[in-house]
């Protein structure tokens, strides 16, 4: 029933993102996982450049299916991928968070993305807003690995509390008792459409996306969730640190005891969404000095010019 190793279909370099991040803790509590990261210091600064380079290099595999890249080549895909990131104001564009989530899920969880919002879910009406990527693979459940399908959610915003609330509100759309069947069906229909341009085990993939099949019923549903948000304490540590090692140590010290505090916040907030508590949630938490700097840097990396210059030259 489950014969395909979906991790073998991942084309991005899975080691690249881990070279840009420091994982400070990984906590598990029943169906809740928390992975907390910070950007690795560059000298005595915390810069987004390295992460943006990795995301830019992964862009073609986010936008295009394997068959498109095989037919037209990696160079063609790399040159045309930016077309899906139009000249939209970076502060209102959620696609950069979706791209980061894609890289994290494929790299860390080893699950293959089979559909995403850019090419497919955006074709549906605004009343049916899709998840930030649909993935297939295996997921660690207690002492065993289980087949899973994953529907992602990414939030890049001003604070942890805002990001958490917005993410859970979005995920609750899939599980609200009045909307659940419609939203889930929409997601899976979109994923099945994507299969047509993906040269993989089509029979197994269709079964895993068809609610009436035994294969679908034997899977667990996981929501990988990216929470990226502003924090103010990086600046003080950057000023006080003399070396990259000293800055890394200062960040680690700053985060002592925060794992329990964050797990408690998530668990408490999750009580407001009883339907969401029934499935698995895997949080990727990444604070930064400025989410606007991340967005602006990604815009310039993709388009080759800052946003304001793009407008003037357009």
Q: Which two tokens stand for residue 210?
A: 């068809």
> How high is the pLDDT of residue 194?
57
Mean pLDDT of all residues belonging to the chain = 86
For range 162-180, the mean pLDDT: 85
Q: What's the pLDDT tens digit per position in 241-299?
A: 999 999 999 999 999 999 999 999 999 999 999 999 999 999 999 999 999 999 999 99
57-113 tens-digit pLDDT: 999 888 887 777 778 887 788 778 888 787 788 887 888 999 999 999 999 999 999
Q: Are 147 and 91 in contact (CB under 8 A)?
A: no
Q: 3-state DSSP call for residue 47?
A: coil
The pair phi, psi for residue 45, each rounded to 5°, is -130, 155
**Position 273 in a domain:** yes
pLDDT > 70 fraction of the chain, expressed in percent and rounded: 85
Whole domain around residue 142: which residue ranges?
6-313
- pLDDT tier for residue 185 given thresholds of 50, 70 and 90: low
Distance CA 306, CA 300 (A): 5
Place of tokens 């991040």: 21
Please indicate, yes or no, if residue 92 is contained in any of the structural domains: yes
pTM: 0.89
Please name the residue that has the structure tokens 């970076």. Answer: 90
Count CA atoms within 13 Å of residue 251 on its CB side.
30
Q: How would you class 314 by CB atoms within 10 Å of its CB: exposed for 0-12, middle for 13-18, buried for 19 or more?
A: exposed
Let me know if residue 1 belongs to a domain.
Answer: no
Domain count, the chain: 1
Residue 33 lies inside a defined structural domain of this protein: yes
Quick check: is 36 in a domain? Answer: yes
In angstroms, the CA 298 to CA 103 distance is: 14
Indicate whether 270 belongs to any domain: yes
Residue 127 has pLDDT above 50, yes or no: no
Quickly list DSSP for 113-135.
Answer: EEE-TTTTGGGS-TTSPPPS-EE
Provide the token pair at 300: 């310039």
Q: What is the pLDDT of residue 289?
A: 95
- What lies within 8 Å, CB to CB, of 141 at 6+ separation is 220, 280
Please indicate whether residue 96 or residue 181 has the higher confidence score (pLDDT): 96
Quickly state the pLDDT bin for 125 (edges 50, 70, 90): very low
Residue 249 included in any domain? yes
Cα 290 to Cα 2, 158, 295: the distances in Å are 43, 8, 9
Whether 215 contacts 208, CB under 8 Å: yes
* Each residue's pLDDT tens digit, 220-251: 999 999 999 999 999 999 999 999 999 999 99
Q: Is residue 180 part of a domain?
A: yes
């Amino acid at each position: 029933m489950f014969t395909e190793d979906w991790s073998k279909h991942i084309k991005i370099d899975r080691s690249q993102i881990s070279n840009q991040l420091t994982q400070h803790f990984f906590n598990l509590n029943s169906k809740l996982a928390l992975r907390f990261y910070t950007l690795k210091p560059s000298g005595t600064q915390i810069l987004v450049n390295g992460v943006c380079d990795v995301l830019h290099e992964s862009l073609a595999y986010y936008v295009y299916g394997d068959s498109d890249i095989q037919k037209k080549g990696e160079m063609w895909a790399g040159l045309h991928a930016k077309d899906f990131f139009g000249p939209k104001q970076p502060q209102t564009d959620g696609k950069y968070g979706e791209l980061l989530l894609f890289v994290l899920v494929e790299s860390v969880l080893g699950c293959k993305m089979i559909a995403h919002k850019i090419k497919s879910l955006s074709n549906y009406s605004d009343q049916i807003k899709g998840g930030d990527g649909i993935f297939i693979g295996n997921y660690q459940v207690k002492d065993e690995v289980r087949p899973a399908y994953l529907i992602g959610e990414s939030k890049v915003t001003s604070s942890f509390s805002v990001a958490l609330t917005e993410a859970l509100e979005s995920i609750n759309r899939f599980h609200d008792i009045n909307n659940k069947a419609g939203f889930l069906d929409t997601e899976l229909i979109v994923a099945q459409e994507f299969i047509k341009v993906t040269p993989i085990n089509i029979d197994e993939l269709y079964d895993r996306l068809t609610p009436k099949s035994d294969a679908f019923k034997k899977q667990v549903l996981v929501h990988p969730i990216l929470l990226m948000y502003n924090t103010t304490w990086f600046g003080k540590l950057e000023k006080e640190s003399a070396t990259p090692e000293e800055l890394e140590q200062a960040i680690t010290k700053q985060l002592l005891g925060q794992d329990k505090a964050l797990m408690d916040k998530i668990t408490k907030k999750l009580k407001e969404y009883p339907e969401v508590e029934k499935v698995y949630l895997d949080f990727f938490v990444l604070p930064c000095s400025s989410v606007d700097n991340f967005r602006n840097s990604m815009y310039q990396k993709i388009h080759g010019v800052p946003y304001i210059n793009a407008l003037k030259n357009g």
